[in-house]
Each structure stands twice: as structure tokens, then as C-alpha cells.
Structure 1
Amino acid sequence: MQSGMKVGADWRPDVLGDEFEQRTLPLPDGAEATLVRYLPSLSSDDGEAGGSSASDTAEPAARKVAVLYVHGFVDYFFHRHVARALADAGYAFYAVDLRGYGRSMAAHTAAGRDANIVKDIAVHAQDLDVAAATVRAAGHERLVVLGHSMGGLVATLWAAGRRGRADALVLNSPWFDLNESWLLRGPVTRVIDVVGRVAPRLAVGALGGYYARALHTGSGGEWDFDLTWKPYDGFPVRAGWFLSVRAAHRRVRRGVDVGVPALVLASTRSGPHRKRHDELVTTDSVLDVEQIRRGAQHIGEDVLFVPVEGGAHDLALSPRPAREEYLNTVVAWLGARVPA
């Protein structure tokens, strides 16, 4: 952990119920992130503590490998079933709500900042630094970072720039490029690059709400999440933040080396992201899966790309059997590359 960074207050109850707890992670410049842990996943059940013989008073040993989940844009951690699946496979499970997101949003907006928006997404490397250090301090010997969408982009660049802090990456539909026409990816992006420097808070777009509506129980979907933290229509995309995202995309396109084994997964097909359609949760209707496939070729030497038939943008929120295929693939790959 970097000098001057302190672990936050004690663990306290989390919104996901009795099996989860959260703690605040103070960050530089007065920012905050939030770490969540899944209590049943934390300790081994063999009675050993620190390698010594078991005794009635011995503390149970921390599981050797921990997984740290990193969410996407207009998102936060609410995936109880992912925590349980990884815990059942022998992994300790944690998740971080980055500064400005979910559990960390109130402190961010109270300081006059825009929800989900930072000046430069590179600042989230600090969030992962503190989260990873806190997880390691709990006694886990190895760390896997599981990033979804924007979280996959952040995790990729963090691993490449902070070699040795993670032991493996799992990337669920990572955001490696802009899912738009060549005009928006090229000339319009260059215009926004200029605008972002002089008017960083200018709203230049927003996510479409079709996908989120298809997921949420209130509009016929399968998943219950907080619409304050993950609203249907998202939050405004600001020019300065967008400028930094496109710079991150260019870094991936030029090539980075995460230095650890990486598993990249995505749906087999993309669907329209600007209109309602019948395959919103059985295709990636946010990103372009071919961009993800190409991007996976530029992040290191030990990378496996796996397509998931019938997968949604967030593969963990796909309907059955796609989500079971996703989780089973992750667990099997971890078992081979980073055994619990």
C-alpha cells in the first residue's frame, strides 16, 4: 500500500444482506472507494491457521487465492451468485465499488463531482491499489482480478502498469474499443479530445437504457439492482472522461502486457445497442464482440479468449444456460491456472 494511505473503518453490514460486509477505502485527494467481502468465502474449512496444527482456539486460515471483482460503467457489485460460485470453488471473494460508483457514489457527489465520472479513468488504478493491498493484508497469498466492461479496461491497464500486484486476470466483456461507426471512433473522437480539454464537464452522450431495462425485475428482467446506482438511462458521459477512455483504448490497441495469465470472455454475437430488440440479454447489446476478440490479442502473451453462446453483455447476468457456462468456464480456468 502506498505511503499515507490508511485502511478505512471496520467492516460493517452491506446492502446485499447478512453474508456480505463492506468497508470504506480512503483514497488520495479525499476520495473513497468501497470494498465488499463475501463472508462464507473468507476462510478455509480445514481448521489450519498459518500452517500450524489445528486447535479449538486457532483462527481458520485465510483461503490462499482471492478474487477481486471490478464493475463496469453505470454499474456496481450486486452479483451474489458470482460470489457464491467462486466461494464454492474454494476462492475468497471481494468486490470494489470504484470512486463515484454504487456504494461510493454519495461521497463522490457530496464533494461536487459527477456520478460515475472522474477526470481520468487512470485514477482508478489508485482504487485498485488500495483494494488489492487490503485483500492481500487479509492473508490471501494470490490475487485474481475479475473485471467487467469498463472494469475490464481498468484492470487490464492496472495489471500492465502495476506488474506483480495480480496473479491472473479474468475479463468479462472488457471495453477495449468504442462500439460505434468509424466516423465516431475517428473524426468525432478527435473533436471530443479537443473539447474535453477546454470543457471537460460538457455532456457528450449517455448509455441507452434498453439493456438495463431488459435486466431489471421492475421491467420484466431477472435481476434486482438499485436504480439509483444503476439507473436505466445511466449518467451523462462527460467530454473529459470520454477523452481519457479513448486514450485508454488507444493504449490497448498499441499493445500492453499484463504479465499474467488472462482469460477473456464475451458473447458470440453483438446486438443493436441503440434500440429495443428481442435479444438484448442473449447478445452483447453494449459492445462489439469482435473488438473484444481483437483487443484480447493485444494485452499479453498468455491470453485465452472464450466465446459464450447466448451471453449478455455482462455474462454473469445472462439467462441460463449461458451464465452457467460462463461461471463454469471461469472456475475451470482458475482451477488450472490459479488453483485454490
Structure 2
Amino acid sequence: MEFREDILGAPYEAAELPLAADEEGAVSATLVRRLVPGSQRAVLYLHGYTDYFFQTHLAEHFAALGFSFYALDLRKYGRSLRPHQSPNFIRDLAAYDEELDQAVRIIREQDGHSQLLVNGHSTGGLVAALWASRQAGRGVVDGLFLNSPFLSMPTSPAMRTLGAPAVGALGRLAATSKLPAPLNPHYVHSLHRDHKGSWDFDLTLKPAEGFPLYAGWLAAINRGHQEVRRGLQIDAPVLLMASTASTITNKWHPDLLRTDAVLRADDIAALAPRLGRRVTTVRIEGGMHDLVLSGEAARTEVFAELDRWIGAYLPALPA
């Protein structure tokens, strides 16, 4: 597997992972890495919806703890999106197993890491949790850190129950049909330094208005949520973090800078026990949807809680 300098610049490298073609043609994913020489510990990061990896401060925090850092831009996202593809589209979340399994082989077999922490944000948190559950008993995942995982739609229970059959039927019959549900641009505006935020990232890879929402993708997400509600079997220790509050609005409000503006944080926390037997839940005061992009005080708390959990559940390996 050939790694070249990534768009983020050194010491970040990236390699293309070829995948099985689908109905739209050639498919690939992108594995980014930031190696720590001599390390036996690694982190694999999965991004959210309409997203890609750019959070270098997260990678550097892990590197300071002695972890080599890897991030997947999943098929049809970010670095992996090609002109012939429907952005972010997937029919079944289990299809991501192909790039996840490839990434783990590189991390463990090619690069020689013997301890693996998987870190998933939002949709990446859902994908990571479902995959980790399927890996139970194989010793693949040593720990799971979920940052505001997308475990439930940000709607009422009644809406979720009543809407599920219609979403499933539409996903089967017209998977590539576009739904009239554009992303609320205020969340990205709350993050990007050209608007009201502090962070710099590529607005073509993470656009404020998002990409089209496809019926097949929504149906796949809904099936994933149903699996979570039935209960997963993750056998590795899990750290789940979510904000203490949410602000769901179509208008700009200052609370978007200190709450989850995408999902209902209370719903996320309530589903934590469905993931496995060893789940630690931490709520972050002032946390935004991507907790590591929150204001300084909340971000400091995120990293302190993460470090405490790692010390308890992922002890350093002997040199």
C-alpha cells in the first residue's frame, strides 16, 4: 500500500484503498495516517455525514499520548468522492466493512500496531458501533470512543415509529431519489472561521448546505438505528460522549456555539446502554455536535475525560 503526502501536509500521509465497484462504477476509500515511530498503539477515526478528516489537533493529541493516528474518508466522502458518484450514498452501512477491514489490516499487519482504538463521530460513530459489534469475539477492537454518535434520528419517538416503514419502502424502490431535506447551514457556519466559528476546513468537502439526501442512505441509517435499539454486542470498552444540551433550529442562534445543533444529545445518551456491557457515558457542558470542535473549555474537558478513560481501559503497552 503506497502512502503519499496528504492534503494536510507532512507528517500526514494518505493512501487510496481500492474497493469493489458498485452500480456507479469504480469505488475507493482513503486512509490518512500520522505515524508515531515505534508505537504499538493506534487510533482509527471515522468522520460524520457530509464530512471528512481535518481535525489535526485531535490527531496530535493522540500522537502526544503515543498513538499512531489513522483516519478513513469513507467511500463517496471527502478525499474519496469522485465526479461520477452520488455524494455520501450507501445502500447498506455494512458495506463500509470493506474499507474498515482493509484499514485494520494495514494498521495491524503492515504497520505493526497491536492495540486499536476506534474513534467515530456522528454517522461515523454509528458505523463504528455496528462494525465493532460484528467484530465481537475476534480481538479486532480494543476500545471504542464515540463522539456524538448518530444513534437516533433527531425527531420524536412517534415520528420515528410512523416514518420507518415509509423510509424503508422508498429506500428499496427508489434508493437514489433525492429527498427535500437539505442540511441546516448554521451548523457549519458555527464551525468555520469564515463565518462564526474558529476552524479552517475545505467547504467543498464539507459544504454548509450539505449534499443531496438520498432515500437509500436514509433507509440504511434507519436500519442501523433499529439494530442499536435492539441491542449491540460490542465486547470492547466504549466511551460515549455527548453534549449536555441540543439546539435544533432553522435560524441562527448563539446557543449553536455551545450545544449540539444536529442531534438530540439526550437521545444519544439514553441509547448508550444498548451498545454493550462496558459503556462509559460522559456529558460535556458547552459541547457542540463535534465535541472536539467545541469552545476551548468544553474541548479541554473532552480531552481530559478521554485521557482518563484511556488510562483506565487502554493501558500503555510495554516497550
Taking every aligned residue pair, what percent have the same amino acid on both sides?
42
Counting matched residue pairs gives 308
Whether the aligned pair in 2 keeps the contact of 1:33 and 1:97 (CA below 8 Å) is: yes
**Bigger radius of gyration:** 1
List per-residue Cα deviations over 1:61-112 (Å, max 9, x = no partner): 3x12101111010111000100111111111111111111111012xx43xx
* Aligned alpha-carbon RMSD (Å): 1.3
Matched residue, 1:160: 133
Do residues 147 (structure 1) and 120 (structure 2) align? yes
| Aligned mates of 2:107, 2:251 — CA distance in 1 | 40
List per-residue Cα deviations over 1:288-338 (Å, max 9, x = no partner): 111111111101000000001100000000011101110121122112211
Whether the aligned pair in 2 keeps the contact of 1:23 and 1:34 (CA below 8 Å) is: yes
Which SS does the other structure have where 1:219 is aligned?
A: coil
Do residues 270 (structure 1) and 246 (structure 2) align? yes
Whether the aligned pair in 2 keeps the contact of 1:173 and 1:315 (CA below 8 Å) is: yes
Matched residue, 1:56: none
Q: Counterpart of 1:38 in structure 2: which amino acid?
A: R
Matched residue, 2:258: 282
Q: Counterpart of 2:108 in structure 1: which amino acid?
A: R
Matched residue, 2:88: 116
Matched residue, 1:202: 177
| Aligned mates of 1:263, 1:119 — CA distance in 2 | 28
Whether the aligned pair in 1 keeps the contact of 2:90 and 2:220 (CA below 8 Å) is: no
Q: TM-score, normalised by structure 1?
A: 0.88
Which SS does the other structure have where 1:144 is aligned?
A: strand
Whether the aligned pair in 1 keeps the contact of 2:50 and 2:210 (CA below 8 Å) is: yes
Matched residue, 1:14: 6
Deviation at 1:199, TM superposition (A): 0.9
Structure 2: tracts of 5 or more residues without a match: none
Q: Counterpart of 2:87 in structure 1: which amino acid?
A: A
Matched ranges for 1:211-290 at <5 A: 211-290=187-266
| Aligned mates of 1:338, 1:182 — CA distance in 2 | 36
| Aligned mates of 1:169, 1:36 — CA distance in 2 | 19
Whether the aligned pair in 2 keeps the contact of 1:282 and 1:319 (CA below 8 Å) is: yes
Whether the aligned pair in 2 keeps the contact of 1:27 and 1:130 (CA below 8 Å) is: no
| Aligned mates of 2:167, 2:236 — CA distance in 1 | 34
Q: Counterpart of 1:262 in structure 2: which amino acid?
A: V
| Aligned mates of 1:335, 1:27 — CA distance in 2 | 36
Which SS does the other structure have where 1:286 is aligned?
A: coil
Structure 1: tracts of 5 or more residues without a match: 1-6, 44-60
Query: Which segment is superposed worse, 123-132 or 225-234?
Result: 123-132
Deviation at 1:156, TM superposition (A): 0.4
| Aligned mates of 1:334, 1:273 — CA distance in 2 | 35
Deviation at 1:153, TM superposition (A): 0.3
| Aligned mates of 1:299, 1:274 — CA distance in 2 | 31
Matched residue, 2:271: 295
| Aligned mates of 1:273, 1:339 — CA distance in 2 | 42
Matched residue, 1:178: 153
Matched residue, 2:144: 169
Do residues 187 (structure 1) and 162 (structure 2) align? yes
| Aligned mates of 2:66, 2:195 — CA distance in 1 | 35
Q: Counterpart of 2:29 in structure 1: which amino acid?
A: A
Whether the aligned pair in 2 keeps the contact of 1:281 and 1:313 (CA below 8 Å) is: no
List per-residue Cα deviations over 1:239-293 (Å, max 9, x = no partner): 1111110000000001011110000000011112433211112101101111111
Q: Counterpart of 1:146 in structure 2: which amino acid?
A: N
